[in-house]
């Protein structure tokens, strides 16, 4: 097969390419240049492109750079900024997967005559009894990335190979070292790639502050209505947040339980007040046919969070037991056992 | 369609660089292997090396239409451009004016000193009326390239020079003639310029060597940007690239001797290439009038095709072509030249530059034509799936 491997310059995609080369496939590596801004420090920096190219040199395969900066700005960065303006907590990595890695990239691979694309995600594509593609959690549960791929449909899964999904991360690194790939010891990427890491929170505040007006907001106790003071930027506050809030006289830990950007009010309360019985979901996607109301699922609300038992309804889902409230804009991945069935965005 | 079974590649990126002529390689080897001495020395071997540089200066002076002593050897076209833009004295409140379609070797240093950018028309030629308005007694330097590296347009240098001499008589005139040397009579084209940049590797010479012509008028107002030794009349410090300079001279001599023949032959190949593609592929057209381009340039618009993808497909056929310029990571950047020509971003993304050179041959062009048609068919077919 002719396979185009999306190579970030990290160890997982390096090993993905190596495994496919060893498997006798005709492999070409490609790195997406997504961001050319000042925060050029993330998963598409010049140094990472160089690493990807050197890995390809080592493997004896071609390497290309695709300039997707325009579509990345349009489909990921601008919506990210807009979501913060509305007081939501967007997940740009998922949107990048949705619009870049598994849309623009696959479309280009098809036009260039490739049979498949591969990435270094820790998840598995398996066939069910009917031969349909299923997205299954990665073998290394601690590194499982099926959450960020939960927006994919079967058309995309049919075209996708995830060669490291059957490996432990330690095996991936050991293989890379033994294969002589310079990326074997590179740390896992963590931050949003277009925001210069620096101090984590500060980077985001600066990035957004350069693009939208940030407004101070009153911090109000949910039960009593008592005011605790102000936060500097309501657009940067997220549900469940504990740090960076003015303390009240009782010195009890306070959690953000609601954010109202229009009224510029942040409501805080006890941890118990964060618990909700269900979530409303928009932008729902399904790997195959839509799941009907009443379907039992496991709902995962963050990349490596616990999956909670829930039942789908017309609006979203209801948890079996109260679960922590999730900020609007976050992705919920829906599973049946270890298999992704769909996704939604908290609204 | 013509078939060329024995051929598996075509090099159509002579605007980027050219294969080094075998005569050039032979000449360079002498100064790499045997006469390797530093020309600043006081012994025989050093004098041999010095003579090679002086001989080369004579060859270039003859070809460029200037005195040998006006040639300053540099590490290439970009350094020559930087020396001209950054090395020139600027008065308090004085201005530098450069065209919007200059090579980045001119544009970036010009931007760094706050230069005024002179616009171009949709035809890829500098807008002379607009340029005239930008010129006055406070203009220190005007820089306009002889031939654009991307769309291949030959700029109206005589008119530019006349305008500058009329509206800004004290201004110096710099011309980046890097792309002109292969096909144009640079002696005539750059007559009246004070500073002219050249590069060896665009005409069959080695990479890493170029020259800036500096006339006496410019010499009085030019300062080095590389400081150290007193080489190149104190205008460019650093031990001379003797082999490169000797090779440059051979490339210039052969290019000059063959120019008339090359121009006719390459023009015919280019016209066949363009005419066949325009005829065979619906919608394909030239970005600007062919009569405004140099004979080796074919700049084509392939509607609804992304040049980044098309180039990768052409690469699979062994066809080397280009589009825009590359950023630090190697990705293709939108072309500032096409943007300056007011082309829409969509159209600019659909442009491919094919550049022919002295080494281009008929069967190579036939192979390239067949490959471009096949690659285009593949990309269009997959879009319809």
The residue count for chain A: 347
Mean pLDDT (whole number) for A56-66? 96
The residue-averaged pLDDT of B297-305 equals 95
What is the rounded average pLDDT of the residues B20-31?
98
Same domain, B28 and B94: yes
Residues B247 and B268 in one domain: no
At the top level of CATH, which class does the domain A214-269 belong to?
mainly beta
Rounded CA gap, B299 and B257, in Å? 27
Residue closest to A68 by CA, chosen among A97, A103, A99, A34: A34
Task: Measure the CA–CA gap between B167 and B148, rounded to whole angstroms.
Answer: 24
CATH architecture of structural domain A275-346: Beta Barrel (2.40)
d(CA B141, CA B95): 7
pLDDT of A289 > 50? The answer is: yes
Q: Is A60 exposed, middle or buried (0-12, 13-18, 19+ CB in 10 A)?
A: exposed
Q: Model confidence at A245, in pLDDT bands (50, 70, 90)?
A: confident
Q: B384 falls in which pLDDT band (50, 70, 90)?
A: low
- Between CA A62 and CA A11 the distance in angstroms is 18
Minimum Cα–Cα distance from B384: chain A residue = A111
Contacts of B327 in chain A (CB under 8 A): 33, 36, 67
Q: For residues A50 and A133, what is the distance between their CA atoms, to the nearest angstrom?
A: 34
| pLDDT score at A246 | 81
Contact B382 A113 (CB under 8 A): yes
What would the pLDDT profile of B76-106 be if each residue is shown by its tens digit? Answer: 999 999 999 999 999 999 999 999 999 999 9
- Angstroms from B346 CA to nearest CA on chain A: 12
* Pairwise CA distance, residues A309 & A314, whole Å: 17
Interaxial angle between packed helices B77-87 and B104-112, expressed in degrees from 0 to 180 and rounded to the nearest 10: 30
Query: Mean pLDDT across the stretch A137-147?
Result: 95
Identify which of A36, A66, A111 has the shortest CB distance to residue B379: A111
Write down the pLDDT at residue A262: 93
In sequence order, the 6+-apart residues with CB closer than 8 A to the CB of A283 are A344, A345
What pLDDT is attached to residue A196?
A: 63
3-state secondary structure of B161: helix
Confidence of residue B111 (pLDDT cuts 50, 70, 90): very high
B339 and chain A: CB distance < 8 Å anywhere? no
Neighbouring residues of A113: CB distance < 8 A, sequence distance ≥ 6: A2, B313, B316, B378, B382
Sequence-ordered list of residues with C-beta below 8 angstroms from that of B33, at least 6 positions apart, any chain: none
Quote the CA–CA distance of B332 and B140 in Å, as a whole number: 34
- Model confidence at A118: pLDDT above 60: yes
Contact between chains at B382 and A110 (C-beta distance less than 8 A): yes
Q: In chain B, pLDDT over 90 holds for what percent of residues?
A: 92
Average pLDDT of chain A is: 91
State whether B53 and B192 are in the same domain: yes
Which range among A164-168, A249-253, B305-309, B317-321 shows the weakest confidence by mean pLDDT? A249-253
B378 CB within 8 Å of a chain A CB: yes
Residue B280 distance to chain A (closest CA, Å): 21
ipTM score over 0.90, yes or no: no
Who among A31, A49, A67 is closest to B308 (CB)? A67
User: B329, A46: Cβ pair inside 8 Å?
Assistant: yes
**pLDDT band of A190, cuts 50, 70, 90:** low
- Domain co-membership, B160 together with B283: no
Q: Is A67 on the interface with B (CB under 8 A)?
A: yes
Q: Is A265 on the interface with B (CB under 8 A)?
A: no
pLDDT digits (tens, 9 = 90+) for B205-233: 999 999 999 999 999 999 999 999 999 99
Residues B283 and B247 occupy one common structural domain: no
Q: Residue A20: name the closest of A32, A8, A6, A33 by CA.
A: A6
Task: List where CATH 2.30.30.280 sits in chain A.
Answer: 214-269
B329 in the same domain as B243: no
Nearest CA in chain A to B316: A112
Kindly state the average pLDDT of the residues A5-22. 96
At residue B5, the pLDDT reads 54
**Residue B66 within a domain:** yes
The strand pairing partners of B116, in sequence order, are B97
For residue B291, give its domain range.
10-20+259-384
Asked if B332's CB is within 8 angstroms of A112's CB, the reply is no
pLDDT band at A74 (very low <50, low <70, confident <90, very high): very high
Provide the pLDDT for residue A244. 83
Domain with CATH 3.40.50.620 in chain A: 2-120+162-178
What is residue A40's predicted lDDT score, i.e. its pLDDT? 46
Size of interface A-B (CB pairs under 8 A): 40
CATH number at residue B165: 3.40.640.10
Quickly state the pLDDT bin for A44 (edges 50, 70, 90).
low
Nearest 5°: CA angle at A267, between A262 and A272?
145
Is there a contact between B327 and A33 if contact means CB atoms under 8 Å apart?
Answer: yes
Say which of A44, A56, A96, A347 is annotated catalytic.
Answer: A96
CB interface of B with A, residues 274-313, below 8 Å: 308-309, 312-313
CB A231 within 8 A of CB A246: yes
Mean pLDDT, residues A315-335 taken together: 94
Distance separating alpha carbons of residues A327 and A316, to the nearest angstrom: 14
Q: Convert the pLDDT of each residue in B286-298 to its tens digit.
A: 999 999 999 999 9
Helix (H) or strand (E) holding B325: strand B325-326
pLDDT over 70 (residue B312): yes
Asked if A31 is an interface residue toward chain B (Cβ–Cβ < 8 A), one would say yes
Instruction: Tell whether B15 is covered by a domain.
Output: yes
Q: Is A193 a catalytic residue?
A: yes
Instruction: State how far residue B323 is from chain A, nearest Cα, in angstroms.
Output: 13
Determine which of B309, B331, B375 to mutate to test the interface with A (most A C-beta atoms within 10 Å).
B331
B177 vs B190: CA distance, rounded Å: 8
Residue A46 contacts B where some CB pair is shorter than 8 Å: yes
- Say yes or no: A243 contacts chain B, CB-CB below 8 A: no
Give me the pLDDT at residue B385, please. 58
How many structural domains does chain B have? 2
B87 and B212 share one domain: yes
B331·A67 Cβ contact <8 A: yes
Which one of B329, B339, B377, B379 would you mutate to disrupt binding with A, by most A Cβ within 10 Å of its Cβ? B329
Query: Residue B373 pLDDT more than 60?
Result: yes
Residues of B in contact with A110 (CB under 8 A): 382, 385
Q: What is the mean pLDDT of residues A176-203?
A: 78
Contacts of B251 (CB under 8 A, 6+ apart): B20, B21, B24, B200, B203, B204, B205
Predicted local confidence at residue B330, as pLDDT: 75
Q: What confidence category does residue A291 fall into, taking pLDDT thresholds of 50, 70 and 90?
A: very high
* B373 occurs within a structural domain: yes
**Residue A41 pLDDT:** 47
As annotated, the residues of chain A forming the CATH 2.40.30.10 domain(s) are: 275-346
pLDDT, residue A197, reads 53
Q: Which of A177, A139, A112, A33 is nearest to B380 (CA)?
A: A112
Is the same domain home to B330 and B230? no
Q: Which of A88, A82, A101 is nearest to A44 (CA)?
A: A101
Indicate whether B3 pLDDT > 60: no
Q: At what angle do helices B362-384 and B242-280 cross, to 10 degrees?
A: 50
CB contact B333 to A (< 8 Å) = yes
Interface contact flag, A112 B308, Cβ < 8 Å:
no
pLDDT on residue A43 = 46
Residues B119 and B244 in one domain: yes
B303 and B217 assigned to the same domain: no
Is residue B129 within 8 angstroms of chain A, CB to CB? Answer: no
Q: Are B79 and B210 in contact (CB under 8 A)?
A: yes
Residue where a domain terminates, one of B213, B230, B253 = B253
Per-residue pLDDT, averaged over B172-190, amounts to: 97
The model's pLDDT over A201-236, given as tens digits with 9 standing for 90+, comes to 568 888 898 899 999 999 999 888 888 899 999 999
Give dist(CA B264, CA B246) in Å, integer.
28
**Do B165 and B191 share a structural domain?**
yes
The answer to whether residues B160 and B297 belong to one domain is no
DSSP string, B11-73: E-BTTT--PPPHHHHHHHHIIIIIS---TTSSSHHHHHHHHHHHHHHHHHHHHHTS-GGGEEE
Does residue B4 form part of some domain? Answer: no
* A241 Cα to chain B: minimum distance (Å): 37
- pLDDT at residue A34, as a whole number: 87
Confidence of residue B2 (pLDDT cuts 50, 70, 90): low
Q: For the domain covering A2-120+162-178, report its CATH number.
A: 3.40.50.620
What is the predicted pLDDT for the residue at A158?
Answer: 96
CB within 8 Å: B333 and A110: no
Of B208, B231, B253, the one marking the end of a domain is: B253
β pairing state of A265-269 and A255-260 = antiparallel
pLDDT at A247: 75
pLDDT of residue B62: 97
């Amino acid at each position: 097969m002719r396979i185009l491997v999306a190579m970030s310059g990290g160890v997982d995609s390096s090993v993905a390419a190596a495994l496919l080369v060893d498997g006798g496939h005709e492999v070409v590596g490609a790195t997406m240049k997504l961001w050319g801004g000042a925060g050029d420090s993330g998963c598409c920096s010049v140094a990472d492109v160089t690493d990807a190219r050197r890995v390809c040199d080592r493997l004896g395969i071609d390497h290309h750079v695709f300039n997707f900066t325009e579509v990345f700005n349009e489909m990921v960065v601008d919506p990210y900024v807009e979501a913060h303006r509305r007081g939501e907590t967007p997940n740009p990595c998922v949107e990048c997967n949705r619009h870049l890695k598994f849309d623009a990239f696959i479309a280009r691979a098809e036009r260039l005559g490739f049979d498949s694309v591969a990435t270094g995600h820790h998840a598995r594509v398996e066939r069910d009894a009917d031969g349909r593609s299923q997205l299954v959690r990665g073998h290394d549960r601690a590194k499982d990335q099926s959450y960020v791929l939960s927006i994919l449909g079967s058309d995309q899964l049919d075209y996708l190979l995830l060669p490291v999904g059957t490996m432990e991360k330690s095996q991936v690194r050991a293989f890379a070292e033994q294969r002589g790939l310079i990326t074997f010891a590179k740390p896992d990427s963590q931050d949003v790639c277009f925001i210069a890491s620096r101090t984590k929170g500060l980077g985001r505040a600066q990035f957004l502050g350069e693009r939208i007006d940030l407004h101070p907001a009153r911090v109000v106790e949910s039960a009593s209505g008592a005011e605790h003071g102000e936060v500097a930027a309501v657009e940067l506050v997220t549900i469940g947040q504990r740090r960076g809030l003015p303390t009240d006289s009782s010195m009890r830990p306070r959690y953000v339980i609601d954010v109202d950007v229009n009224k510029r009010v942040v409501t805080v309360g006890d941890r118990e007040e964060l618990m909700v019985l269900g979530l409303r979901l928009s932008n729902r996607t399904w790997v195959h046919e839509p799941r009907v109301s009443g379907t039992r699922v496991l709902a995962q609300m963050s990349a490596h969070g616990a999956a909670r038992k829930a039942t789908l309804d017309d609006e979203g889902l209801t948890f079996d037991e109260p679960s922590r409230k999730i900020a609007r804009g976050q992705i919920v991945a829906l599973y049946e056992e270890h298999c992704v069935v769909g996704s939604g965005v908290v609204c | 369609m013509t078939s060329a079974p024995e051929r598996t590649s075509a090099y159509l990126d002579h605007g980027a660089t050219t294969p080094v002529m075998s005569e050039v390689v032979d000449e360079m080897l002498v100064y790499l292997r045997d006469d390797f001495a530093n020309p600043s020395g006081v012994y025989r071997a050093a004098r041999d090396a010095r003579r090679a540089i002086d001989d080369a200066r004579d060859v270039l002076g003859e070809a460029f239409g200037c005195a040998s002593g006006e040639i300053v050897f540099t590490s290439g076209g970009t350094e020559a451009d930087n020396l001209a833009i950054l090395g020139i004295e600027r008065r308090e409140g004085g201005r530098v004016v450069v065209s919007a379609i200059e090579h980045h070797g001119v544009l970036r240093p010009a931007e760094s000193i706050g230069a005024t950018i002179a616009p171009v028309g949709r035809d890829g030629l500098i807008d002379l009326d607009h340029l005239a308005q930008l010129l006055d007694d406070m203009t220190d330097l005007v820089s306009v390239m002889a031939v654009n590296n991307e769309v291949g347009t030959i700029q109206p240098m005589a008119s530019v020079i006349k305008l500058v001499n009329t509206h800004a008589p004290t201004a110096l005139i710099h011309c980046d003639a890097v792309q002109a040397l292969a096909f144009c009579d640079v002696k005539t084209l750059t007559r009246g310029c004070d500073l002219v940049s050249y590069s060896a590797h665009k005409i069959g010479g080695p990479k890493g060597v170029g020259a800036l012509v500096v006339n006496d008028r410019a010499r009085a107002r030019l300062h080095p940007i590389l400081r150290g030794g007193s080489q190149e009349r104190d205008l460019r410090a650093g031990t001379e690239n003797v082999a490169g300079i000797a090779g440059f001279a051979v490339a210039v001599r052969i290019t000059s001797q063959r120019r008339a023949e090359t121009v006719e032959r390459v023009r015919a190949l280019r016209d066949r290439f363009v005419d066949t593609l325009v005829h065979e592929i619906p919608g394909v057209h030239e970005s600007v009038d062919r009569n405004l381009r140099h004979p080796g340039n074919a700049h084509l618009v392939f509607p609804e095709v992304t040049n980044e993808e098309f180039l990768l497909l052409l690469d699979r056929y062994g066809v080397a072509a280009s589009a825009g310029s590359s950023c630090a990571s190697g990705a293709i950047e939108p072309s500032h030249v096409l943007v300056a020509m007011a082309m829409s971003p969509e159209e600019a993304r659909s442009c491919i530059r094919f550049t022919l050179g002295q080494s281009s041959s008929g069967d190579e062009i036939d192979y390239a034509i067949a490959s471009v048609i096949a690659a285009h068919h593949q990309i269009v077919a997959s879009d319809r799936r």
